[in-house]
Amino acid sequence: MIDITVLPYFLVTVAVLVAIPGPNTIYIATASASQGFRFGLASCFGVMLATLVHVALAAGGLTALLLASPLLFSVIKSLGAAYLIFLGVKAMRSQPAALGTAPLPPARMLGTSIKKGFLVNLLNPKTGLFIAAFLPQFVNPESGHVPLQIATLGVLLVCVGALSDITYAALARTIGKALTRRRAKPGAGKYVTGLLYISLGVAALATSNGSTR
């Protein structure tokens, strides 16, 4: 059982940290601004599912393998960066649907957004590193069941993070609509979206597990 006395400090700290825009927040906001609020929410759901996977790995001690293996860390980092760059190139090369062409069913499109958000965060080693370094600071070994404490704190982290990301998604959609009304060149938004994804991919390549410091 987690130490109730540290819970308020944990929640306040998490609220401050998740309010600072990071790669996942930017990804969700970009999806919401370019595709719509529903797709921002779907991306958020995928990101949160992947965060739960990272929490489970940390609770099971498997994240330590990532920290201890520069090769494994580099492989996951490269895969995540490559996927973001792929999304960026794909966004810039996308073409508006031809007149009379039936769009993908909404459920399928939202499912794709969930999958993308899941992969973006699952292949983001910074998430695993943060969870592995942050959650144990609020664990009380004397209370026992350390993996359960980490898992509980991780779920709380996901809940607070979801509230923050949903807020960013709503704000991004509002800004996206305003820019769409003022944009002189139709389709220019896809280049902005693509460049943001590519920038996130390049930034991911710079991530270090700290083993060389």
For the stretch 145-177, pLDDT in tens is 888 889 999 999 999 999 999 999 999 998 877
On whether the CB atoms of residues 180 and 36 are closer than 8 A, the answer is no
Q: Between 45 and 187, whose confidence is greater?
A: 45
pLDDT at 74: 80
SS (H, E, C) 59-109: HCCCHHHHHHCHHHHHHHHHHHHHHHHHHHHHHHHCCCCCCCCCCCCHHHH
What's the average model confidence in pLDDT over 52-59?
90
Instruction: Identify the weakest region by mean pLDDT among 102-116, 129-143, 151-165, 175-189.
Output: 175-189
**Given this model, what pLDDT does residue 96 score?**
52
Choice between 194 and 149, residue whose per-residue pLDDT is larger: 149
Q: Which residues of 70-108 are buried (b: 16+ CB within 10 A; e: fewer)?
A: eeebeebbebbbebbbebbeebeeeeeeeeeeeeeeeee
pLDDT more than 90, % of the chain:
30
Chain segment 65-113, per-residue pLDDT in tens:
666 667 777 887 788 888 888 888 888 887 654 433 445 556 678 899 9
Lowest mean pLDDT among 10-14, 56-60, 68-72, 164-168: 68-72
